[in-house]
Amino acid sequence: MVGGALRVASTLGLVLLPALLSAGNDEAKDALAPPVRTLCKEVAECRPSCDGVDADEDRRVYAPVAHFPGSFTAPRAQEAIVSLFPCGEAFTERQAGLTALLRKSPSGWTTVTTIEDAVTQDECRLVESTGRQLLVCQVSVGPQQGIVTAALCVLSASEGRLVNTCPLRVTDVTASGCFPDASGQGARHTWAADIKSWTPATVAGSPGARVEVSLASVSVPAGENMDPACDRAIQRLQKATPEVVSLDLAFDGPALSLIPASRRVAARFPWIFDTP
């Protein structure tokens, strides 16, 4: 998704729900997993895929883009997290979608809570911490004015709510200009950076994640954004060999954060990393 807008159209439906598109429309609806059917009935009008459905702001039609069965609020709870996204919209606008926590009881599936955000099936993995499951997702937002932000985020359920936090954000400004760090003081930089991959890992004896970030950065004297010095720096950046840094994050309950050694690595590049 980096560098372009992903649209929820027939191609996305083909990637995520291949079995549904080979069936007739009624059969396809019946083939949806029970929690997805429940969300579609309770919250939004939706189809098994966006095939042949145009964007309509007055009457949005959604399609499922992710479904994760699990136990998110307590051990052995029968639950699921489901994401829907409106047909015809660009996925750069994630808040146009919705993500829900659903729970199964003897009477069937019900929607517990929703948030205005969306994730796709291939962005997230289930991770267990303190006896319940969480979703760890590598997501991307943008480009917005040429800037792309990649992030590692945690979607957890707490007290009947879904909570989405992003303990690691990596900003990429390739060819967009030269910028100071958050303090706004001193030299500027232009840089390219992206999360290459992440894997679940045991970190300092706790469940966690190991992230590899590819980055290249060129310093630029103080000045205006796209001045001659910045132009020269961008040309140097295009020829630079990226460095790959490895960062470890550990869970403390549902909260994921960089361990101290990795926080020191990220602190070398405050203009690239946002680590709240």
What are the tens digits of pLDDT across the range 7-36? Answer: 333 223 323 333 332 233 444 444 578 999
My answer on whether 251 and 166 are in the same domain is yes
Question: What residue type is 61 in one-letter code?
Answer: V
User: Which residues face 96 on adjacent strands?
Assistant: none
Which residue range is the domain that position 99 belongs to?
1-118
Residue at token pair 């003081």: 185
Q: Is the pLDDT of residue 40 over 80?
A: yes
How many other β-carbons are positioned within 10 Å of the β-carbon of residue 253? Answer: 12
Tell me if residue 235 falls in helix, strand or coil: helix
Residue 43 is which amino acid? V
Are both 147 and 100 inside the same structural domain? Answer: no
Beta bridge partners of 109: 104
Contact 264, 229 (CB under 8 A): no
Nearest alpha carbon to residue 138 among 159, 154, 126: 154
Same domain, yes or no, for 126 and 209?
yes
Q: What pTM did the predictor assign?
A: 0.82
Last residue of a domain, one of 62, 83, 118: 118
What is the rounded CA–CA span in Å between residue 38 and residue 121?
18
**What is the average per-residue pLDDT within 56-79?**
88
| pLDDT, tens digit (0-9, with 9 covering 90-100), for 202-245 | 998 999 999 999 999 999 998 877 899 999 999 999 999 999 99
pLDDT averaged over every residue in the chain: 83
| Whether residue 13 is found in the same domain as residue 113 | yes
Give, rounded to a whole angstrom, the gap between the first and last alpha carbons of the chain: 24
Last residue of one domain, picked from the residues 93, 118, 143 = 118
Paired tokens of 34: 């029970």
Calpha distance 274→267 (Å, rounded): 9
Q: Read off the pLDDT of each residue in 58-66 and give the average, rounded to a whole number.
A: 85
Q: What pLDDT, on the 0 to 100 scale, is given for residue 92? A: 66
Query: Is the same domain home to 48 and 173?
Result: no
Residues 229 and 175 both lie in one domain:
yes
Share of the chain above pLDDT 90, in %: 55
Number of separate domains in the chain:
2
Mapped onto helix, strand or coil, the DSSP state of residue 62 is: strand
Does residue 133 sit in the same domain as residue 169? yes
Residue 78 shares a structural domain with residue 201: no
Q: Do 258 and 237 share a domain, yes or no?
A: yes
Provide the pLDDT for residue 159: 82
Domain endpoint, select from 118, 141, 165: 118
Q: Residues 96-118: what's their mean pLDDT?
A: 92
Q: Kindly state whether residues 111 and 16 are assigned to the same domain.
A: yes
Sheet hosting strand 79-86, strand order edge to edge: 62-70, 79-86, 98-105, 108-115
Tell whether 104 and 158 lie within a shared domain.
Answer: no
Q: Is there a single domain that holds both residue 258 and residue 195?
A: yes
Q: DSSP string of 145-181?
A: TTEEEEEEEEEEEETTEEEEEEEEEEEE-TTT--B--
Cβ burial 144-154 (10 Å sphere, 16+ → b, else e): eeeebbbbbbb
